[in-house]
Amino acid sequence: MTPEHIDTVQSTWLKVLPIRDAAAQLLCERLLQIDPSLRGLIRGDTRRQGARIMQVVDATVNGLTRLERVVPRLEGLGRRYASHGVKDDHYATVGAALLWSLAQALGTEFTPKAKVAWATVYAVLALTMREAAASKPVSGPWSFEQPSRRDAA
């Protein structure tokens, strides 16, 4: 993951933010189209689940320039997801759905360069979560909080 990847992801994410609710709905719907068995993991209202996903994406994208602060949160999230039944192959499904949703939300602004940047960043983050999930189970409550303004700087 290069600084250029990070810049591209952060700049395109700013364009998604005004329509994040619609993008979240697209993402959840696409996940279930690709793998209907995920219905068991996406419980309740897909809008609420989508909002949670967008919260994680937003916090992560904003923290990309300070990975040392984001990685522990992603590791905890990976362990927590594993305890809820998320498997390794689900990360590929989420990645595909994320890229598709971004393409729908951004249209022509989701250039090949943007697609490569998002795929690269997602691969690094997903690997972090998968490795943490394989290393040890989650213990106690855990949340993914927004990084402070200092984290994003």
What tens-digit pLDDT sequence spans the chain (153 residues)? 899 999 999 999 999 999 988 888 888 888 888 888 777 777 666 677 777 878 888 888 988 888 888 888 888 888 887 777 777 787 888 889 899 999 999 999 999 999 999 999 888 888 888 888 888 655 544 444 444 444 444
- Fold annotation for 3-152: Globin-like (1.10.490)
Contact 99, 119 (CB under 8 A): yes
Q: What is the distance between the alpha carbons of residues 114 and 101, in angstroms, rounded to a whole number? A: 13
Q: Can you spell out the DSSP letters for 15-74?
A: HHGGGHHHHHHHHHHHHHHH-GGGGGTS-S-HHHHHHHHHHHHHHHHHTGGGHHHHHHHH
Question: SS3 for 86?
Answer: coil
